[in-house]
Each structure stands twice: as C-alpha cells, then as structure tokens.
Structure 1
Amino acid sequence: MPWTASDIPDQSGRTALITGANSGLGLETARELTQKGARVFLACRSLEKAKAAQATLAATAQAELIPLALDLADLNSVRRAIDQVRAKAQALDLLINNAGVMAPPRQLSAQGLELQFAVNHLGHFALTQGLLPLLDQRSGSRVVHVSSGAAYFGRIAFADLQGEQRYDAWGAYAQSKLANLMTAFALQEQLQRRGSKTQSLVAHPGLARTNLQPTSVAARGSRLEGLAYRLMDPLFQSAAMGALPQLYAATAAEAEPMAFYGPGGAGNLKGYPSRCRIAKQALNTESRERLWQISAELSEAALGN
C-alpha cells in the first residue's frame, strides 16, 4: 500500500518549523502537520506572508500556528529568526528546510553571495546550526532537507561557488540542490559522532506544481521556458503529492537517514514516497566535508560569530 498523508502519526505535543510555509510544498506540509496536532512555526520571507499562511490554515489547524519572518537571503534575518524561535519554544521536534528559489538571473544575497547558494543552501545551513540545541532537547527529532531531482545533474564548483567567473542559472540551482543532499548526509554523520538522537533526512518532490516554475519564468523572461513548462504539464503532480516525500521523511517511523526519498513513479517524477538513488557526488565524504567547512566559515563570518 502506498504511504499517504493519512499515515502521518499523531503529532500532538510536537513542534515543527517549516521554511517557505506560505505556498506550495511548504503550505501543504504545514497543513498536514497541523491537522495532525503539531504546533507549527510558519517561517516565511516576510511576516505578512507568514500571517497570510496562518489565516489560510487556521480553519483546520489542531494546534498553534506561529508566523515567523525569515529571509534566507539575509543571514542577519536568519539570526533574528533563531532568537525568536528560542524565545518561544524550549524544544523543536521537526525542522523542515523547504524554502527555495529556482533559476533566477544572477543576483546576490544581503551578504553578497549568489542567491541560490545563499537561500537554498547557506541560509538553511545557518538556520539548522542555530536550532540544533532545540532539536537536541527531543528524542526522535528530525531535520528534513528538501532537495530536488536536479541534484542528479549538480556539481559543486568549489573553484567558483558563487558563479563569479561563469554563471548558469540552472547549473547554480542544481549545485544548491546537490548541496542540500550533501549537507543532509554530513549533518547525520556529525550527529552520530556526538551521540545525538536527532536525525537528518532528505527528500525531493519530483515534478510538483508550485510557484517556483512561474516565478522562474517571470524572473528570466523566457518564453521558451514557459512553453516547455506548458508542454510538460502532464508530467507534473500536485503540490500536495509533491509534499508527501518530505512528510514521509519527517514523520514515518520507517524513514531512515542516509537515504534519499522522492516519488516512486517512473523517473521519480511523481507518485508516492519511495527510496531513490543518490547522486554520486553526495556519496563522496571528502566533498561533503569540504562543502561543510566552507559553509560553516561563510555563515560564521557573515553572522559575525
């Protein structure tokens, strides 16, 4: 039998934080968790977006919804969000690093880093490090990194991480999604070494209809890309279906670290949650450790730690 949202265990008494909770996969993930009784921090780029998500979910929520401003493109905003969560929660059961941007023209974060690397990877890296003390308070807590099938085509360009010498929007996106996968594994190894009961898992949604596609098309002004999405529409599944792999990673008793979960259909494009093959570079321990060290140095320098 396929695993569906109805298989999510009771989440009463648990606290989750979801980035990008105002739309798409994040909103669907928040909807399912709060209907199962989880208290949810709705971490969105602005407080207005977070409050709008709160209003959308309020009618069916079975626990508190807490709007939280979190701009992953600004590590100072990440630090403020960490402080606010620490002030409102003594422990955290789930951290779902879901938010992302996809293939915009080259832009820079508040700290002068390439936007996709900053938002999809580094902002979540810093957020996770800041919230690990809260996750450590709960036995069975989990961090879920939301990657993409694009990770299979990714390459970590260590000599040009920020695309200063050569920038390709889709290449930078694939790099950031591979970084999510590598970070999930590297974090799990670190958690195991220090005897933590927190687990680090990773999932991807396949081809899911979210606001990422139209936003990407609008940002790039690409009519050809827009046409391609329209032609590919039959391959896409709903955001609710796309959210299932990350919900599985977050809540299923049988979900395990060091695995990659995604849709189980043809090409892992759509379908119910299943294990997927792992991108080759993500299996390279040396590359994972190198990326981790660079990420730690960048986040610490930007935050003034």
Structure 2
Amino acid sequence: MKTLVVSGGTSGIGEALAHTYLKRGDQVVVIGPHPEKGRIFLATAEELGAGERAFFLPADLSLVSENKRIIEDIRENFPAVDALVLCARFFRSSRRVTSEGFEHNFALYYLSRFLLGNGLLDLLEKAPDPVIVNVAGPGVEAGQIHWDDLGLERGYDGWDAMFQGGKLNNLLGVSFSLQRPGHRTRYVLDFPGGTATGFAGEFDPATAAHVKEMLRFAKPVEAGITPIVAAIDSPPTEPLSAFFEGRRLDLRHHSFDPEDARRLDAVTRELLTG
C-alpha cells in the first residue's frame, strides 16, 4: 500500500488523483483550504470503502507557517511517503499579499512547493520508489522571472504571475536534484495541459471570459491525470524530468539553467529566513 500526499487534493486534478489511488487500495492524504470540501472528500472515500485510508488536512498553503505545521503533522503520523503530488494553485487577477508579506501567487504556487518538497524529503527517502510530481507549467516559452521584483509590486498581472510561477517551479526541480546527488527521490515536473475540472481563481471579467473559453477545449480530467499516474507508478530513472502534455522536455533549455536554479534557491532561503 502506497502513501500519497496531495496538495490541492480536494478539487480538480488533485481530487481525481486522490480518488484513483483510494480505489486502488492506497492511502491518500490531501491538503486543502476548505473544510467543507474536505468533508466531501472524506464522505466520498467512505462511499468507496476507503474511509480508513483517506485523510484531510486543512491548511492555507499560501502561508509559510501553515506549510510548516502540515509538514510536522505528516511527519508525526506517517512513517513514509511514496509520492508527493503538488497541485495547489489559485489565479488572481488582482495582486494580493498574504499576512506574512508575500505575494499570494508566489507564496502558494512556489514557496509552498519548496517547503513541502524539502520538508518531507526524509519521509520520501524511506519509501521503496519515491517521487515528487510537481504539477506546474508551462513556464518554458511563456513569461519571465522578475528577479528584482519576485512579488510583482511594480506592475502586477495575473497571467504574468502564473507564468513566472511555472518558471520558478522549473528551477525548483533543478535545484532539488542538484543539491541531493545521492538521494533516491525523483523529481518530475509535469504540465498535463488544460483539464475540464475548472480553473481555480478570482477573475476580472475579461479573464473570466478567457478562462471560460479555455475550458471549452480542455481535456477530461481522466486524460489529464494519465501522465501523472504513470510518473507515480513508474518514476523516471533520472533525478529530474519534465513533461509538457506528455512530451518530454529537454533540460538543456534555458528555463532549467543550473545557475539560475542556484540563484533562486539562495534567494528563497534568504526570504524564508528573513
């Protein structure tokens, strides 16, 4: 029986993955901000006959303190983690700053994934075939990293924030693999493409119309989770791999630059220390 931890696991791709592995007989821990959605998840697990293998941890993962609390909770209650799946993301047309002083998209889409991956690594290393699947993207051709303004104080745009998040997660995967040459946990960056499960966020009218049009052509969630399931069931042999809608990406692309990854890691640790 595997143990999976899924952030953003009460809706969309995360929820579909959680149900898939509960049906298989595995143990699933989902993290989400809404207790009501958590209750629905647990009720569904009961209907599947998997109530004793389903766990919901309520948390606002845009807060560093909440990530640290969740990490300690998991460490206290689970001896090992086979797969950590990072799905939590929330689009905002307008800039918002968390109570800890970080721009919301940067905090939820990037900092949380940094914290969870690093904080649960020792539990992953205790599993026979451990993997982190970071469901992020695209972050390859689109967007840029605003090195001197990661919080986008000087001109915020929701799409710019999201694309920057994708690029930051690319570098997160690189730094994770560079810093631990001997670890067994594989890191997989996976953008499965748009799925018809919704697009969580708070939108201005123009963005809402665009998102509605995007969802018209989105693939069913069952198709969207297929490559993620494959990565969990049979992790790639390489320490780091990246996929875009099923196509393997060349890690020599400038979006995976090792020096940029080291720079981001140093900046991140300084921000968290401060």
TM-score, length of structure 1 as denominator length: 0.82
Counterpart-to-counterpart distance in 2, 1:58 and 1:255: 35
2:148 partner SS? helix
For residue 294 of structure 1, what is the aligned residue in structure 2? Answer: 267
1:79-111 per-position Cα deviation (integer Å, ceiling 9, x unaligned): 111111111111111111111112431001231
For residue 208 of structure 2, what is the aligned residue in structure 1? Answer: 226
Pair 1:254–1:161, CA change in 2 (3 A): closer
Contact kept? 2:23, 2:48, Cα under 8 Å: yes
Q: In the TM superposition, what are the counterparts of 1:41-190 in structure 2 within 5 Å? A: 41-60=29-48, 62=50, 64-190=53-179
For residue 245 of structure 1, what is the aligned residue in structure 2? Answer: 227
Alignment length (residue pairs): 273
Pair 1:61–1:124, CA change in 2 (3 A): farther
- Which residue of 179, 190, 206 corresponds with 1:203? 190
Pair 1:206–1:256, CA change in 2 (3 A): farther
Counterpart-to-counterpart distance in 2, 1:253 and 1:100: 23
Offset of residue 233 of structure 1: 4.1
Offset of residue 256 of structure 1: 4.3
Offset of residue 126 of structure 1: 1.0
Offset of residue 247 of structure 1: 2.0
Unaligned runs of 5+ in 1: 1-12, 264-272
1:167 partner SS? coil
For residue 14 of structure 2, what is the aligned residue in structure 1? Answer: 26
Offset of residue 48 of structure 1: 3.6
Unaligned runs of 5+ in 2: none
Offset of residue 255 of structure 1: 6.3
Q: Percent same amino acid among aligned pairs?
A: 24
Counterpart-to-counterpart distance in 2, 1:41 and 1:69: 11
Contact kept? 1:41, 1:65, Cα under 8 Å: yes
2:127 partner SS? coil
Offset of residue 162 of structure 1: 0.5
Counterpart-to-counterpart distance in 1, 2:226 and 2:273: 33
Pair 1:35–1:49, CA change in 2 (3 A): same
Counterpart-to-counterpart distance in 1, 2:37 and 2:143: 31
The list of structure 1 runs, each at least 4 consecutive aligned residues, that deviate by more than 6 angstroms after superposition, is none
Counterpart-to-counterpart distance in 2, 1:61 and 1:189: 41
Contact kept? 1:25, 1:239, Cα under 8 Å: yes
C-alpha root-mean-square deviation of aligned residues, in Å? 2.1
Counterpart-to-counterpart distance in 1, 2:136 and 2:252: 11
Counterpart-to-counterpart distance in 1, 2:38 and 2:60: 11
Counterpart-to-counterpart distance in 1, 2:264 and 2:77: 32
Counterpart-to-counterpart distance in 1, 2:157 and 2:164: 10
